[in-house]
Amino acid sequence: MRYLPHSEAERAEMLGVIGAANIDALFSAVPAKALKTFDLGLPAHSPEFLVEAHLKALSAKNHAGADGPFFVGAGAYRHHVPATVDHLIQRSEWLTAYTPYQPEISQGTLQMLFEFQTQVAKLTGMDVANASLYDGSTGTAEAVLMARRLTKRNKIVLSGGLHPHYRDVVKAYLKDDADLECLSASPDGQGDILDHIDEHTAAIVIQTPDFYGHLRNMKAAADAAHAKGALLIVVITEVVSLGLLEAPGALGADIVVAEGQSIGNALNFGGPYLGLMATRKEFIRQMPGRLCGETVDAEGQRGFVLTLSTREQHIRREKATSNICTNSGLCALAFSIHMGLLGEAGFTRLARLNHAHACKLADALAAVPGVEVLNDTFFNEMTIRTSQPAAELIERLAARGILGGVPVSRLEPSDPSVANLIVLAATELTTDADISALCAALSEELA
């Protein structure tokens, strides 16, 4: 077996040193009725080429993004990842290192996390960012709990423009919680969340661009929340939008949570992704997740360490801010390298290119009979109302080799008002030919 170094002779020799008659003697604490009393019926070990053939066959059954026109977004976006990123993250020293608990021999990971935190703070316009969370959805649930700790209030209001999966995750985390108010879906981009803020409100949660692609007014939300002593949590699922849109920190956000997948990370059918979280300096001690900080070593040289770890489970145990142990280190590395390659110049160009392609898409869709574009504002994503039920329409497009977006009914099955809505995204990878193919197919299907 190629992953196991011992020969049978070595095993025997080692058992001799231990003084055990056989390997089973080392399992003597296991109750006899539970030790090797079964036949697993699993396949035996297999050479590399056979394993590879099996997985390639499974992979080939899927329609990959590159196989045809692609307009699927709704919380995960298909962007180009430079070859340099994927090469670097596969270097042994990044890929096969553990959490940097021994800072003297983990300065690579630690300095990278410090750079990552700086990038996220600058993107969001906030004072501090952590070293990443699992993803945007769980990050949103963590932000809600953090707001409760900070305000010592309980009521949470979720905007109707919040990604339905994110809403569902918050609901699961706050099970049986009467203080959670979820506003109904608002595909038109109009929300009346400001009327739901009162003196019991810990936080309001608003996504921008929202699930339907509309840009929401953060400043007005922040002012309304702060007037009642509540916090504003801003959620961003498409982080590329920050290259073109104002930083939430500059508009009064108290906690910003974002899905960072768009930068450096492939679609991967939903994971692994990375959650970004940033907040105000005075809220650091209630922020979950790891933090990396600068210090010096015994010779006065600059170095980095994990810090403020008394917030975390391995020290506070049942009093920790969260039970989180792992972050999303390698995805954060991919994000940081990609962002480092882009820089301000490249990131801004990328954002403009996304918006330009989305404008083309919106204009082309508006010209298709039976299609209505619902958005006045958007970054790279929009919602259309079609003259036929969306779910079947998307399937028919898929049969033509076109992945034409996400039918809203897939995420909101119990809301009949969204049955004819589709959310579509364009990115820098979207071509004019893709848009033409989509519009031609839609015209035929809706005729």
> Around Cβ 399, how many Cβ atoms within 10 Å?
9
- Cα 238–Cα 239–Cα 243 angle in degrees, nearest 5: 120
> How much is the CA Rg of the chain, to the nearest whole Å?
25
Place of tokens 């992704």: 273
Rounded distance, CA 139 to CA 233, Å? 11
Residue with smaller CB distance to another protein, 197 or 393: 393
Consecutive H or E run containing 217: none
Cβ(302)–Cβ(108) below 8 Å: no
Torsion (CA) 439, 440, 445, 447 in degrees, nearest 10: 100
Place of tokens 């231990």: 18
Q: Minimal CA–CA distance to 201: which of 220, 226, 223, 183? A: 226
Place of tokens 């003597």: 28
Torsion (CA) 438, 351, 267, 165 in degrees, nearest 10: -90
For the bound state, the minimum distance from the C-beta of residue 365 to another protein, rounded and expressed in Å, comes to 13
Structure tokens, 77: 């976006």
Cβ(157)–Cβ(133) below 8 Å: no
For the bound state, the minimum distance from the C-beta of residue 21 to another protein, rounded and expressed in Å, comes to 12
For the bound state, the minimum distance from the C-beta of residue 15 to another protein, rounded and expressed in Å, comes to 7
Distances (CA, A) of 299 to 104, 107, 307: 12, 15, 20
Cβ(276)–Cβ(132) below 8 Å: yes
Residue with smaller CB distance to another protein, 36 or 200: 36
The verdict on whether omega for the bond into residue 43 sits within 30 degrees of 0, i.e. cis, is: no
Rounded distance, CA 216 to CA 237, Å? 13
> Around Cβ 176, how many Cβ atoms within 10 Å?
6
Q: Is 134 helix (H, G, I), strand (E, B) or coil?
A: coil
